[in-house]
Structure 1
Amino acid sequence: MAYSTKQQQAILNCLKQRRDMPMSAADLAAELRQSGQPVGLATVYRQMEKLEAAGQVHKVNTEEGAYFQYCSHPEGDRKQDCLLLKCESCGRILHLDCTQLQPLYEHLLQEHHFTVDHRRTLFSGLCEACAKKERKDGEQ
C-alpha cells in the first residue's frame, strides 16, 4: 500500500493485535477511542474498504453483520489464496494458507462457470480446542 494515514495504521495495528478474532467497525472505533485515538465510525468503514482492497484485511460477512480481520500474508504476497475457518463455538477465525481447495475452485469455474472469491469465503465448524472440549463433555 503506497499511502497510509495515521488512522489507517492505528486500525491495522488494532486488527494485528487481535489477529484471530474478527472485529466489527464499531468494535474497532470503540477500541481505538479507548486507547486515546479518537476516530469516527465512517472513517473506520472508509479505511477498512481501503485495507480490504489492498489485501491487508479480510471482510467476513456473518448473520450479525460485517467483521474485519487482519490478513497475515507477508507484504507482496497478499493475493495468495486464503482459507478462513470460523469456530461456531468460540467465534475464533483461523486464517489458513492451503492449496488443497484449488482443484475445487477450478472445478466450479470449469464445470459450473462460478468463480469463488476465496478472500470472502468462510467455512464454519469447530476449532481443535472446541472439538476436544465437546468430545470430552460428551464422555461425561
Structure 2
Amino acid sequence: MPYSTKQQQAILTCLEARRDQPVSAADLAAELRRSGRPVGLATVYRQLEKLETAGCVHKVNTEEGAYYQYCSHPDGDRQQDCLLLKCEHCGRIIHLDCTHLQPLYEHLQREHHFTVNHRRTLFSGLCASCAEKEGPDGGQ
C-alpha cells in the first residue's frame, strides 16, 4: 500500500488485532473512539473501501450488513488465492489461503465462462468446533 494515512493505519491495526473476527464499520468506529483514536463513520467507510481495493481487508456482505476482516497476506502477495469460510452455527468467519481451488476456478472460466472473484468468495458450513459439538447425527 503506497500511501497510508494515520486514520487508515489505525483502522488497519484495529482490524489486524481482531483478525479472526469480522467487524462492521460502526463497531470499528466505536472501538477506535474507545481507544482514543476517534475516526468519523464516513471516514471509516472511505478508508475501508481503500483498504479493500488494496487487498488488505475482505468485505463480507451478510443479511445483517457489511463486515470487514483483515487479510493476512504479506504486502507483495495480496493476489494469492484466499477465501472466507463462515460457520452457519457460531457465525465465525475464517480467512483461508488455499491454492487447491485454482483448478475449480479454471474449470468455471473455461467451461462455464464465469470468473470467480476469489477475494469475495464465501463458503458456508460448519467450523470444526461446531461440527464436533453437533456430532455425527447432527444433534447435540
The TM-score range, normalised by the shorter chain, is: over 0.9
**Deviation >6 Å, runs of 4+:** none
The Cα of 1:94 is off from its aligned counterpart by: 0.9
1:78 counterpart residue number: 78
**Alpha-carbon distance in 2 for matches of 1:50, 1:106:** 28
The Cα of 1:48 is off from its aligned counterpart by: 0.4
1:132 counterpart residue number: 132
**Alpha-carbon distance in 2 for matches of 1:106, 1:34:** 46
1:55 counterpart residue number: 55
CA RMSD of aligned residues (A): 1.4
**Alpha-carbon distance in 1 for matches of 2:134, 2:32:** 35
Deviation per CA, 1:19-54: give whole Å up to 9, x if none: 111001111001111111111110001000110111
**Alpha-carbon distance in 2 for matches of 1:19, 1:32:** 15
Q: How does 1:37-48 map to 2 (within 5 A)?
A: 37-48=37-48
Q: Give the residue type in structure 2 aligned to 1:35.
A: S
1:123 counterpart residue number: 123
**Alpha-carbon distance in 1 for matches of 2:11, 2:90:** 23
Q: Which runs of 5+ in 1 are unaligned?
A: none
Q: Which runs of 5+ in 2 are unaligned?
A: none
Length, aligned pairs only: 139
Q: How does 1:1-140 map to 2 (within 5 A)?
A: 1-135=1-135, 138=139
**Alpha-carbon distance in 2 for matches of 1:50, 1:130:** 34
Q: Is the 8 A contact 1:21 1:91 kept in 2?
A: no
Task: Tell me the TM-score normalized by structure 2.
Answer: 0.94
**Identical pairs, percent:** 81
Q: What's the secondary structure of 1:15's corresponding residue? A: helix
